[in-house]
Each structure stands twice: as structure tokens, then as C-alpha cells.
Amino acid sequence: MPEITTESTPIHTMDAGTLAAAIRDRQVTAVQAVTAYVERIERYNHLLGAIVSPGPARLRSEALARAAAADEAQTRGEVLGPLHGVPFTVKDTLAVAGYPATAGSMVLKDYIPEATATVIARILAAGATFLGKANCSEFAVDTHAGNLLFGDSRNPLDTTRTPGGSSGGDAVAVAAGLSAFGIGTDFGGSVRWPAHCTGTLSMRPTIGLLPGTGILPYDTTAPIAPPNSASVLHRYMTAGPITRSVDDLELLVRIMAGPDGLDAQTAPVTVPPSTSIDISTLSVAWCAGEGTVPIRSDVVTALAAAAGRLTPSVASVREQRPPRLNEAAGLFLELRDAEGLPEVAMAIQKAQAEQSDIAVTPGILAYLASVEATLTNQSASDALTHLLDATARRDAVYTAVCTFLNDHPILLLPVASVTAPLIGTTSEQIDDAVVPWSQLGSSCRAISILALPSAVIPIGHGENGMPIGIQVIGRRFHDHEVLAVARELERLS
């Protein structure tokens, strides 16, 4: 069957804003748009492992019913939202009422929330059409989107390679034309690394801009509760979009932003239009990583070239690493391990008490056991002292980096040390160093613990032909500056 097109452009290649405009202008109907995506899902999803629920028959019938309702609303002359009729996917750690939210774990395989995460409710209210839940690593703690419950997601550009994780299923769906956009989550790089691996775009907004209500793990025995503001995981995790364009990143972040009356960490801040920024007034710095993990030469070359292309457009471009940035990734791990992901541990313990042989990814169990052993050998006083000390050092690094950003409001960093690795490998050779997968995204972790906004934009390809993305980083709550510079890089790439 030929692809459904509008003005000779296949629907599955259009960005969300363009597709929404085509639907509003009656160039294509919402039913045609959803049909185009559903047919591709039925053709390719079994090869790629992007969308894990609902099953194909339910996905088709319910998505097309929603699309038909969208077309009927348009016929009645109702006011259409900015995403009217646009199909999208949701990471399986985000609650959508009436659909499984498993976090890729056998522990939660039967959990169906009764409420919807705030950011997803806002996307739906903007008129988007929900397709299904996208695959992720178990409890979103690994760098590859694969798990014991659903298996591996595969990179559509080379199915022997990872699409990244943990929000890899959404990145696969967008890259393969199975979804117009995806909504994932990011703690240590979980929307940024998959975008880098698949040649898509993503954004981790400023922490506190988007409410985190409805992002697993949370207490599944009660209605969806607000994120625990004392938790390192919930304090530095956020939802974020994966898209085909910077325009879509901005559209989606602006739709999702703002307090919901539940998440106490969400600030009453709006995102000004990025078009209000004159990037010729912005100074840009770049550096080849956060300073502790080597970066492969092809990635550095692509980053340097992208920075150079910006030179005529901005006030200045300088190769310089912010002071103390080399301490940030280590502090991410130190603060994470000081708590040991207790929300994940409690969910597993509860499930194992009910079913002792329930399968859990061995790496998760090994990590939780190592943290428990460390904490068991500490007094409560010593553990608290260590946590407070690490937090104080994090705050000092934050101050040093933010002082640097006052003079250089935009920082360009790699997303990772290499392009998408082969599935089944555990490390990468970079010059004379063997770098474990767990360290490849250290530049993402450094930005995570500083709570700064970061957009990922593809800027070229590596020596093996796989995409290279870079992080465009800015000051807290200056997401519009990040988007403005990302758009210029998109134009120049």
C-alpha cells in the first residue's frame, strides 16, 4: 500500500506541529494520520520492539476511534488544540489511565493506573492521539531499552545496535515513523542518550519546569501521589519529549510546563518563546566532555565542527570547560548511591514477598545488594553526614558552573563518548581506555545533577555511520535560550 501523504510528504516523516497544521487545514484527516502510523506499527514494530502495549488489535481500534472523534469535533467547528489528531507514544514509566504501566518490570506487569500523569494529561488535552506505551529498561535504570518482560528495543538505523535507554522505545518509534513524538523521562540521560543513538531530538527541561506527578516508581497501592521531594531520584528526574524537530521540542515543553498543585517542586514559571531570543548576544562555550571519561575522536570532531558553524550567529564561541564540571558526574553517582533507589528496592521487595521467584534484571539486584551492604555497614548518623556532605559539594559545583554560565549562557557538550553500541556488548574501546556502558553518558549525568536544561540535536554521523547528537545546555529556567540555539544548529546542520 502506498504511504499516505500530504503535499507529497509522507505523514510518518512529518513533525508534530506540521502534521497538526495539515489536519487543521484539512489537507489530511486525523483518521488518515493515525492510519498511516498504525499501518507502520503493524509492519515494523515486531522487528523493533518499540511499542509494548496495548496489543495490535486494541491499539488499532482505540487509536482510530480517537481519531474519528477528533475529526467529528473539527466538523462541528470546535476549537482545536495545538496537537489535534497527532499520534504519539508514552514511555512505560508514565501513567496513562486504563493502560499498563509496568516500567518494563515483571514486578508491575499487572499494574494499570486509574489516573494519568499530569504531563500526559496536558498532551491529551492539547488534542494529541494516544497510540501506546513504549519500551524502556527495567525501572528505567539501564542504558539500553530492554527488559525481561518485553525484550529488546532495536535501533531502526541498525537493528544490531542499541537505541539507547532508558526511553529507547519512544526514540525508536519516532525514528522509525511509528509515532509523531514520544514522551519519556530523564534521570541520568534517558531521553538524551536515545536521541543521540537514533538521530532524533530530545529535551530534558530545567528541573522544576514540568510536574513529575505520575512518573514511576511510586506507591501503586494508592492513587497517584506527588513525587517525594526528599528523593534524589524524583528530585533530579523529569519528563521530556523526543521529536523530529526543535519546533516540536518547544511546542511540547510549553504544553507540559507549569504547576499541577501536586508536585511541590514545580515552579510557577512559563517558557517564553524562543523567537524572543537574539542569539547574536549569546556567548557559547564547548568542551569535549565533562572531564573524567574519554570521548571518541569522531564525536569530538563533530562537536567542534558544530561549534564552529555557530561562530557567525552568536557573540562568541570558545573552547572552555566550566570550572568543577569534572566533579559533577561523580556527585550524581554519589548522591544516587547514598540512597540506593529506595523506591525501586521497595517495589521489588513487596513483589518478592508475594511471589518469591519473580524475575528481576540481575544487574538491578546486584546494584541494590551492593548499596544495602554499604548502608548496613554505616550508622544512620554517618549515612546522613555523608549525604549532607555530598549535597553541599554538589551545591558548590552548581555555583561554579552557573557562575561560568553567566558569562557563557550556552554550553555545548557531547551526549556520550561513542555512537550507538552493539546490543550485547558491555564496554567500548576509546583510545587506550576500555569504557563500560555505564560511563558512556557521564556528560549527561553531570548536567542532570546540576538540574540544567539540555536539548539534544543531531549534528552528523560517526565513523561507523551512526548519528551523533550534542547537548545544548543553558541556565536554569532559560530553556528558551537553549531552544533558540538548538534551532540555529538544526538550521546549520
Identify the H or E element spanning 284. Answer: strand 283-286
Q: 129-134 and 51-53 as β-strands: parallel, antiparallel, unpaired?
A: antiparallel
* Range name among 46-55, 217-226, 363-372 with the lowest pLDDT average: 217-226
Q: What is the pLDDT of residues 145-176, one digit of tens each?
A: 999 999 999 999 999 999 999 999 999 999 99
77 phi-psi bin (left φ>0, alpha ψ -120 to 50, beta other)? left
Q: Is pLDDT above 90 for 41?
A: yes
- Per the annotation, the verdict on 91 as an active-site residue is yes
Residue range 114-140: average pLDDT? 98
Confidence of residue 82 (pLDDT cuts 50, 70, 90): very high
- Alpha-carbon distance of 288 to 309, in angstroms, equals 16
Q: Which of 105, 166, 448, 454 is catalytic?
A: 166
Q: How confident is the model at residue 223 (pLDDT cuts 50, 70, 90)?
A: confident
Model confidence at 225, in pLDDT bands (50, 70, 90)? confident
pLDDT above 90 covers what percent of the chain? 95
Q: Is the bond leading into 166 cis (omega within 30 degrees of zero)?
A: yes
Q: Coil, strand, or helix at residue 30?
A: helix
Comparing C-alpha atoms, which of 486, 332, 468 is closest to residue 410?
A: 486
What pLDDT is stored for residue 222 in this prediction? 81
pLDDT, tens digit, for every residue of 196-210? Answer: 999 999 999 999 999
**Which pLDDT belongs to residue 3?**
60
The pairing of strands 427-430 and 433-436 is antiparallel
Please write the tens of the pLDDT for every residue from 282-330.
999 999 999 999 999 999 999 999 999 999 999 999 999 999 999 999 9
Radius of gyration of the chain (CA): 21
| Exposure b/e, 110-137, CB count within 10 A at least 16 = b | ebebeebbbbbbbbbebbbbbbbbbbbb
In the block, residue with C-alpha cell 502534521: 19
Distance separating alpha carbons of residues 110 and 188, to the nearest angstrom: 27
Cβ partners under 8 Å of residue 478, min gap 6? 206, 409, 453
Active site includes 448? no
C-alpha cell at 352: 518478592
pLDDT digits (tens, 9 = 90+) for 385-418: 999 999 999 999 999 999 999 999 999 999 999 9
> Alpha helices of 359-493 — where are they, by DSSP H?
362-376, 380-407, 437-440, 442-448, 479-492
266 and 122 in contact (C-beta within 8 Å)? Answer: no
Q: What is the mean pLDDT of the chain?
A: 96
> With the C-alpha atoms ordered 329, 194, 491, 309, is the resulting torsion angle positive or negative?
positive
For residue 206, which phi and psi values (nearest 5 degrees)?
-50, 135
- CA nearest to 143, candidates 171, 117, 178, 120: 171
Looking at the predicted structure, is the pLDDT value of residue 8 above 90? no
The neighbour count for residue 39, using CB atoms within 10 Å, is: 16
166 is catalytic: yes
Q: Is the peptide bond before 217 cis (omega within 30 degrees of 0)?
A: yes
Return the pLDDT at 1. 40
pTM of the model: 0.97
Quick check: 2 pLDDT over 60?
Answer: no
Helices marked H in 204-327: 232-235, 246-256, 297-310
Top-tier CATH class for 5-331+387-492: alpha beta
Give pLDDT, residue 7.
60
- Given 105, 137, 179, 190, the catalytic residue: 190
Q: Which of 5-19, 71-85, 236-250 has the lowest mean pLDDT?
A: 5-19
Domains in the chain: boundaries: 5-331+387-492, 332-386
Annotated catalytic residue within 91, 153, 179, 202: 91
How far is 304 from 287, CA to CA, in rounded Å?
8
Report helix angle 56-75 to 16-24, nearest 10.
50
Closest by Cα among 169, 251, 151 to 203:
251
Phi, psi of 249 (to 5 degrees): -55, -50
Return the pLDDT at 226: 86
